[in-house]
Copies of this chain bind each other. A is one copy, B any other.
């Protein structure tokens, strides 16, 4: 028995998983969520479709893996914001960063917070515990708590307040991405108009929060 064989095999296994995910990610960005097929992934990595099932339980597990990768991207976008000491300012910047992320990576946002397929995998395999979501939400809760210590949102429950803020931001992003913002007077550069609406709406939200001091 040669030493290190098992180790190498494990490495190969991970490499293959990575190869599959990279192809899936590429197809996902190039052609969109609906256009990812196991067959197209298989073709891209030059293996038979059946091979993929040796590395992933099913398609949803692939989506879940991409979902986790997407969360990595989101966390990275939030990383610099931890440096902002003032909690209310940090909250505002978090909102901006969130919207920025959603509008520049609509497909990824869709995968993270709108599509149900990855969450289905969470529900069936991860004992229904969405670690990434919990962690991200906790960051928001802590920031809200910080704001309250500075005199914002006093008398309002921290959890509810955080949930309220997330709901608003998510709703704004979801509507912006899913083509449901239609009350757009001009039809010149649609995307730019939608971006404007999103920014204006967020500014109004900000203005509202600012009035909630004392």
Contacts and interface: CB of A to CB of B under 8 A. Distances in A.
Contact of A129 (B166, B174, B179, B182): B182
B119 A204 contact: no
B208 A163 contact: no
A201 B160 contact: yes
A14 interface: no
A10 B137 CA distance: 56
Given A134-B182, A134-B183, A180-B113, A164 B168 contact: yes
Contact of A208 (B122, B133, B138, B212): B212
Q: What's the interface size class on A, roughly?
A: 35 or more
Contacts of A151: none
Contact of A160 (B138, B164, B174, B204): B204
Nearest to A119: B179
Nearest to A182: B130
A116 interface: yes
Interface string A121-137: 01100001110011001
A157 interface: yes
Contacts of A31: none
A114 interface: yes
Q: Which of A137, A171, A178 has the most CB of B within 10 A?
A: A171
Contacts of A164: 168, 201, 204-205, 208
A119 B172 CA distance: 17
A160 to B, nearest CB: 4
A149 interface: no
Contacts of A166: 171, 175
Contacts of A200: 157, 160, 163
Q: Which of A123, A128, A167, A182 has the most CB of B within 10 A?
A: A167
